[in-house]
Amino acid sequence: MNVQAAGQNHFIMSNQEEEKDFIREIIAEDLASGKHETTITRFPPEPNGYLHIGHAKAICLSFGIAQENAASGARCHLRFDDTNPAKEDVEYVERIKEDVRWLGFDWGDHLFFASDYFDYFYDCAVHLIKEGLAYVDLQTVEEVRENRGNVKVTGTNSPHRDSSVDDNLALFEQMKSGELGEGKAILRAKIDMTSSNMNMRDPVIYRVMHETHHNTGDAWKIYPMYDFAHPLEDAKECITHSLCTLEFEEHRPFYDWAVANCPTASTPRQIEFSRLNLNYTVMSKRKVLELVNDKVVSGWDDPRLLTISGLRRRGYTAESIRHFCHRVGITKFKGITDMSVLENEVRQHLNKVAERRMAVMNPLKVTLTNWEQGRVEIMEANNNPEDKQAGTRQIALGKQVYVERDDFMEDPPKKFFRLGIGRSVRLRGGYIITCNEVVKDADGNVTELLCEYIPDTVGQNAPEGIKCKAAIHWVSVEHGLDAEVRVYDRLFSDENPDGFEGGFRACLNEDSLTLQSAKVEPSLGEVEPGYRCQFERLGYYCTDIKDHVKGEKLVFNRTVGLRDSWKK
RNA sequence: AGGUCUAUAGUGUAACGGUUAGCACUGCUGAUUUUGAUUCAGUAAGUGAGGGUUCAAAUCCUUCUAGACCUACCA
């Protein structure tokens, strides 16, 4: 664990560059011009699902900016935007906090809930009514929709638009008390029904909802809409820069309207950036929830998903996710990032910090014919050949070992460097062996290899006349442990390259998850959950955080495969 | 189609009117290698299209094209 931590620091330190995206430039200017003394950002998730890699981008941005400007007292608030009790749940609150923390960010004392501001929102609504800037609309849902018009048809005014302040106040009170039921009335801002921006056609700011809220219980029968609540939340918390994704661009005029027309403590500025798009995957909460509910996946933290908890369970490091977010950058351009960029980041990080371990997924028994019966020799192997600090470990070698079935070919092509009849190969960290004979069963399947080890080849080059171009992984039959390995397909199908729309459910069925038993070296018997190592030639594996030991077997998830150019 | 926004190698980005358009990943070639990994070296590939302003345009103007988002009593 300590080794990993040290490596992680190195990884992060060596990759800090001073590139500024357009948002950081705006902030730097505001600081330089004295418009703001410091910068206060916020990350405002709705507790209606787990965080995913897309949220990580927003988290790295808002919390990252706060960290970078810490000298001036900058901070980033974690605020739960819980204004719709119908969709939200406390479970999500805890999971979100856990994920933000795991990603390496800290909100300090600045944890907030939009629901704690319900009184404030209400006061603002009353203020608007008194100013003649809001009115209670008694039209039906259909009428409201009809009268809003559409992109081509301009909206028409509600018959209730010019009700008196006193009437509006009284009606709003009836909404609040529950006298006016759900769907019977809404409070709307009075702006402009002819605006080309649909969000300015007298947007709804309060609706009646007789739902129990996870925080305020049954205290309220009316709840503010996001468009109304969000600017007020930001203003109340004195957020200077409110960073959100591009789809809120057209909401900004109303955001500014609300701040300008309500009694606010500050004037926050909303700035939009492009959300993360990854190809071959599905991130939307709606779809993931569907997969969870239908038990297509084991939960929000299923390692096949791109949720933060799924990635964590799969073995991704927080560092690699942060680095990935830094690499895709912050722009207004809606590009699609290739999944391989993400995978490349973990691979790069894990290569530095993960210890090397040997495992055999598809075992083929090898008997060393010239090895004395009962003899056991301890091999000393590097934990990480590139990092001497990682130390060494001891591995017992006996008369019989398992090797990967793929490492033997009866009729090998020219470029195959591993075992074949008459060929030599090194047992990694140990002796060079030569294959003399193949044992087959009645059906002609290879069941065992009879090999000869060549003495004095541990740590030595191959003797004259012996060609040895590869070192393969092996596990002693006598000493090896049984483990279970889960190989998850990357979350995509090549047949649905455009984001899974129709096919993602199918891709997530059993084909995307292969359970395999494996033989692993004895040193893996003592590792902690979350331990990551490289199974030579197979990729990087992580002990499953949930199912570290399942029955008698260790459980590993594959984090990411090795690059394997020779297979192409 | 109404609005808002975007357009730089395959991908993600930098260049803020001024050298030869920079970087990273990917690709390809080669070297090292007790992991066909890693590492290292080399190499290929770009300003969506047309017009204009200017001594000078990726950058400013204009037309076109392509894409994204918006049209919820969700956030």
pLDDT in tens, A29-48: 999 999 999 999 999 999 99
A365 CA from B36 C1′ (Å): 23
Under the banding of pLDDT at 50, 70 and 90, the label for residue A232 is very high
Ranges of beta strands (E only) in A38-190 are 40-43, 75-80, 111-113, 134-137, 186-189
pLDDT digits (tens, 9 = 90+) for A144-164: 999 999 888 899 999 999 999
Distance from C-alpha of A277 to C-alpha of A349, rounded to nearest angstrom: 22
User: Of A161, A275, A287, A490, which is the active-site residue?
Assistant: A275
The pair of three-digit structure tokens given for residue A379, joined into one six-digit string = 């091999």
Confidence grade of residue A506 (pLDDT, cut at 50, 70, 90): low
Judged by C1' against the alpha carbon of A148, the nearest nucleotide is B71
Is A18 among the catalytic positions? Answer: no
Distance CA A447, CA A461 (A): 30
Q: Is A188 within 8 Å of A227 (Cβ atoms)?
A: no
Joined together, the tokens standing for residue A507 give: 């891709």
pLDDT-derived band of residue A90, with 50, 70 and 90 as boundaries? very high
Q: Taking the mean position of all CA atoms in its chain, how far away is CA A443?
A: 47
One-letter amino acid identity for A430? G
Number of helices (H) and strands (E) in chain A: give both, helices first.
Answer: 14, 26
Predicted confidence at residue A500, as pLDDT, reads 44
Lowest-pLDDT choice from A87-96, A164-173, A503-512: A503-512
pLDDT for A490: 61
Say if residues A133 and A261 touch (Cβ distance below 8 Å).
yes
Q: Which residue among the candidates A285, A347, A357, A537 is catalytic per the annotation?
A: A285
- Among A81-95, A121-135, A194-208, A293-307, the minimum mean pLDDT is found in A293-307
> Which of A4-13, A115-124, A133-142, A422-431 has the weakest average pLDDT?
A4-13
Whole-number distance in Å between A350 CA and B39 C1':
15
Clarify whether A275 is annotated catalytic: yes
Nearest nucleotide (CA of A145 to C1') = B72
Give CA–CA dist A357/A193, Å, rounded.
Answer: 67
Those nucleotides of strand B lying less than 7 Å from any protein Cβ are 1-8, 10-14, 16, 24-28, 34-39, 67-75
Confidence of residue A505 (pLDDT cuts 50, 70, 90): low
Give the residue from A58, A21, A64 showing the smallest Cα distance to A43.
Answer: A58
The reported pLDDT for the residue numbered A20 is 86
State both tokens at A156.
């028409």
Among all strands, which nt has the closest C1' to A468 (CA)?
B34
Give the mean pLDDT of A491-495.
47
Q: What is the pLDDT of residue A414?
A: 82
The distance (Å) linking the CA of A25 with the C1' of B16 is: 11
- Between CA A338 and C1' B44 the distance (Å) reads 21
- The whole-number Å distance from A332's CA to B53's C1' is 28
Amino acid whose CA is nearest the C1' of B69: A247
| Residue carrying the six token digits 């299923």 | A302
> Residue A451: which residues within 8 A CB-CB, separation 6 or more?
A366, A367, A368, A369, A419, A433, A434, A435, A436
Partners of A539 in the beta sheet?
A: A535
Q: Any catalytic annotation for residue A355?
A: no
Q: What percent of chain A has pLDDT over 90?
A: 78
Residue nearest to nucleotide B8 (CA to C1'): A333
How many whole angstroms separate alpha carbon A481 and alpha carbon A494?
Answer: 35
Distance in angstroms, CA of A275 to C1' of B10? Answer: 21
Average per-residue pLDDT for chain A: 91
β-strand partners of A135: A188
Quote the pLDDT of residue A481.
Answer: 95
Span A391-402, average pLDDT: 96
- Six-digit token pair at A95? 């999971």
- Kindly provide the ipTM of the predicted complex, given to two decimals: 0.94
| Closest nucleotide C1' to the C-alpha of A562 | B37
The whole-angstrom separation of Cα A214 and Cα A85 is 7
